[in-house]
Amino acid sequence: MNTMRAGLLLAAMTGIFLAVGYAIGGSGGMLIAFLFAVGTNAFAYWNSDKMVLSMYGAREVSRESAPEFHDLIARLAARAKLPMPKVYIIDSDQPNAFATGRDPEHAAVAATTGLLRMLDEREIAGVMGHELAHVRNRDTLVMTITATLAGAIGMLANFAFLLGGRRDERGGGNAILSIAMMILAPIAAAMVQFAISRTREYGADHGGAEISGDPLALASALAKLEQMAHQVPNAQAEANPATAHLFIVNPLSGHGADNLFSTHPAARNRIAKLQELARGMNAAPVTTAGRASGPWEDTAPRRKGPWG
């Protein structure tokens, strides 16, 4: 099912590329756009995870540099029967997290310093269990490629507008078609993200609750993250809204037009499903109660604050 979903997603994105190419240069432009789409898809498959991690300034941490967090991920991965992913921390006050990678053998999970600071151990385990559920369900390839291609479609749509305008001034183009494509192509790409992400978030919530063994802790974390996402801005996400669907909650503040179509289900609906799941679930949590003495502190030598 996930392989079919990935194929349909790439086909939809390729179709958008072809439409923009036709707006730029007719049949010839469509052929060029097709070749560009093939190259972009191939590049995204191998490199989009690295691009997203770099975009957010994520830095890989080891057990020596972040022992408590690294050990928690190791316990969760073992419980999920997954290979140990690479572990990253993002210097951002907004509490949030995401997973990326083309398959479980090449996966990475990332959490912000805000998340590690504001949530307790059970809640962090719930959030990271959610991200590992994305890895286990192989959602990460689809979601990461979507982010890369959505950004590329926006760039190509702007190119269509600029080139179309020049051709119209020489009497040979269709400026109206180019303007329409500039507006509609990014919206179409956003709608693909919208359709994919909402259903996968519910699945990852369910899987994350099973992996952590604590659906109520994940529900508690979602309530906190949803509230803080509107209060604490994420500058990188605001500058790159095509990546918003990667996060466990929408990182966009809602102040701009880019947040018109949310890629995430309403937090209250997700929380209600987790509470329902908790009533019928008997699994033991992967962690014990919170962190009175700050177990997330980095015990390794550091230069710039508690995260290295």
- Those residues whose C-beta lies under 8 Å from the C-beta of residue 118, and which sit 6 or more positions away, are 95, 224, 228
What count of Cα atoms within 13 Å lies in the side-chain half-sphere of residue 120? 13
Q: State the Cα–Cα distance between residues 132 and 87, nearest whole angstrom.
A: 11
Active-site residue 131, yes or no? yes
Residue type at 70 in one-letter notation: H
Rounded-to-5 percentages of helix, strand, coil across the chain: 65, 5, 30
Give the pairing type, strands 108-112 and 86-90: parallel
Amino acid at 96: N
Q: Active-site residue among 131, 201, 210, 226?
A: 131
Retrieve residue 241's tokens: 């809204």
Active-site residues: which are they? Answer: 131
